[in-house]
């Protein structure tokens, strides 16, 4: 059964329509440890997600739970500092709230960013990877519940993920800023914990370059709704079993912090280049 998001979030829709200072052009979801980007640009109005009707609380350290209306290079932006994940025990209808809101406010572009474990042997923590494709096999069922059976329009929109135009723009931005932007496939896992070494070996054998616990469903919905959608991963750690070291959330946020400035440059240049 398809979930009626417009009904479920009717109070939130009304609230945002009344309170949004403008219709943003570009929405950016800031992943684990990447939230500081919001501090680097001019914020015009912010909301704590806890003040929004029906918005579930973020349970994770490093996920602020804020929505900002901001401006950069004269472009109207919507920034999500924090997102809702499956591994927090939430449903798909809650995990896609960022995308639902971006679309409600008529964003043309949706940039999803995330922290991910590196599997490709050429990747090191601190690398940024443009997602050329996403493997979201493990959430197909939930996505079907979200968007129902695709009509012709929906099927065609899937073909535009990632947006070729958007990915080209990000690649250009990296070139202009002399950033060594890696490229690869992002492999989604639901969590709740990081992967086992055996899972990571399988993902690597099946063509995954990086693994993370967000983005896949958001990207599908964004593209389905007709937004130009792209995603960038910050490789925050070697995926489980690649080195002998145990993974921790601190390692993830610490590495993201180290690349904060490079990430900021890449995203700012991308915003500048987008039409
Ligand atoms: N696995 C899943 N999610 C992640 C990882 C990881 O290794 N690193 C950051 N988010």
DSSP string covering 60-116:
STT---EEEEEEETTEEEEEEE----GGGT--HHHHTHHHHHHHHTT-SEEEEEEEE
- Taking the C-alpha atoms of residue 222 and residue 77, their distance in angstroms, rounded to an integer, is 16
**CA angle at 213 for the pair 210 and 214, rounded to the nearest 5°:** 100
Residues with CB under 6 A from ligand 1: 115-117, 194-195, 211-213, 236-237, 239, 247, 252
Residue whose CB lies within 8 A of the most ligand 1 atoms, among 214, 236, 253, 259, for a mutation test: 236
Q: Locate the ligand 1 atom nearest the alpha carbon of residue 252 and give its number.
A: 9
Q: Could you tell me the distance, in angstroms and rounded to a whole number, from the CA of residue 215 to the centre of ligand 1?
A: 12
- pLDDT of the chain, 275 residues: tens digit per residue: 788 999 999 999 999 999 999 999 999 999 988 999 999 999 999 999 999 999 998 777 656 699 999 999 999 999 999 899 999 999 999 999 999 999 999 999 999 999 999 999 999 999 999 999 999 999 988 988 888 876 776 666 566 789 999 999 999 999 999 999 999 999 999 999 999 999 999 999 999 999 999 999 999 999 989 999 999 999 999 999 999 888 888 888 889 889 999 999 999 999 999 99
pLDDT at 146: 86
Q: Where are the domains of the chain?
A: 5-273
Q: Locate the ligand 1 atom nearest the alpha carbon of residue 117 and give its number.
A: 7
Q: Could you tell me the distance, in angstroms and rounded to a whole number, from the CA of residue 116 to the centre of ligand 1?
A: 4
Burial class of 175 by CB neighbour count within 10 A (0 to 12, 13 to 18, 19+): exposed
Q: Could you tell me the distance, in angstroms and rounded to a whole number, from the CA of residue 263 to the centre of ligand 1?
A: 18
pLDDT at 61: 67
Residue of 81, 98, 79, 76 whose CA lies nearest to 25: 76
pLDDT at 155: 65
Q: Could you tell me the distance, in angstroms and rounded to a whole number, from the CA of residue 99 to the centre of ligand 1?
A: 21
Q: Are 47 and 66 in contact (CB under 8 A)?
A: yes
Q: Could you tell me the distance, in angstroms and rounded to a whole number, from the CA of residue 73 to the centre of ligand 1?
A: 32
pLDDT at 66: 94
Q: CATH number of the domain at 5-273, out of 3.40.50.10890, 3.40.50.1580, 3.40.50.300, 1.10.10.60?
A: 3.40.50.1580
CA distance to 42, 92, 192, per residue, from 85 (Å): 27, 8, 9
Q: Locate the ligand 1 atom nearest the alpha carbon of residue 191 and give its number.
A: 2
Q: Could you tell me the distance, in angstroms and rounded to a whole number, from the CA of residue 264 to the centre of ligand 1?
A: 21
pLDDT at 171: 98
Q: Locate the ligand 1 atom nearest the alpha carbon of residue 195 and give its number.
A: 1
- Can you name the residues that pair with 212 across neighbouring β-strands? 188
CA-nearest residue, atom 10 of ligand 1: 116
Cis upstream peptide for 192 (omega within 30°): yes
Q: Could you tell me the distance, in angstroms and rounded to a whole number, from the CA of residue 185 to the centre of ligand 1?
A: 14
**CA angle at 149 for the pair 147 and 154, rounded to the nearest 5°:** 70
pLDDT at 63: 61
Q: Looking up tokens 């469903």, which residue turns up? A: 217
CA-nearest residue, atom 7 of ligand 1: 117
Q: Are 73 and 272 in contact (CB under 8 A)?
A: yes
Q: Could you tell me the distance, in angstroms and rounded to a whole number, from the CA of residue 118 to the centre of ligand 1?
A: 8
Strands 181-188 and 66-72: unpaired
CA-nearest residue, atom 2 of ligand 1: 212
Helix (H, G, I), strand (E, B) or coil at 145: helix
């Amino acid at each position: 059964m398809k979930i009626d998001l417009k009904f479920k979030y009717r109070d939130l829709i009304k609230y945002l329509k009344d309170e949004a200072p403008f219709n943003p052009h570009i929405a950016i979801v800031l992943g684990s440890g990447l939230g500081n980007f919001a501090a680097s640009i001019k914020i015009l109005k912010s909301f704590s997600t806890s003040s929004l009707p029906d918005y579930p609380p973020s349970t994770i350290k490093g996920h602020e739970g804020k929505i900002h209306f901001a401006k950069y290079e004269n472009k109207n932006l919507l920034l999500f500092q924090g997102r809702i994940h499956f591994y927090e025990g939430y449903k798909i209808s809650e995990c896609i709230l960022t995308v639902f809101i971006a679309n409600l406010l008529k964003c043309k572009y949706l940039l999803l960013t995330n922290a991910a474990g590196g599997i490709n042997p050429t990747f090191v923590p601190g690398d940024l990877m443009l997602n050329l494709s996403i493997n979201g096999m493990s959430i197909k069922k939930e996505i079907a519940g979200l968007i129902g059976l695709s009509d012709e329009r929906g099927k065609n929109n899937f073909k535009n993920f990632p947006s070729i135009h958007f990915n080209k723009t990000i690649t250009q931005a990296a070139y202009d800023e002399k950033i060594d932007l890696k490229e690869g496939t992002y492999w989604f896992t639901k969590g709740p914990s990081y992967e086992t070494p055996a899972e990571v070996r399988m993902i690597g054998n099946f063509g995954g370059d990086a693994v993370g616990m967000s983005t896949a469903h958001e990207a599908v919905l964004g593209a389905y709704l007709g937004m130009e959608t792209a995603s960038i991963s910050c490789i925050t750690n070697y995926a489980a079993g690649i080195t002998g070291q145990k993974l921790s959330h601190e390692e993830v946020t610490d590495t993201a912090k180290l690349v904060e400035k490079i990430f900021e440059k890449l995203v700012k240049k991308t915003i500048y280049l987008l039409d």
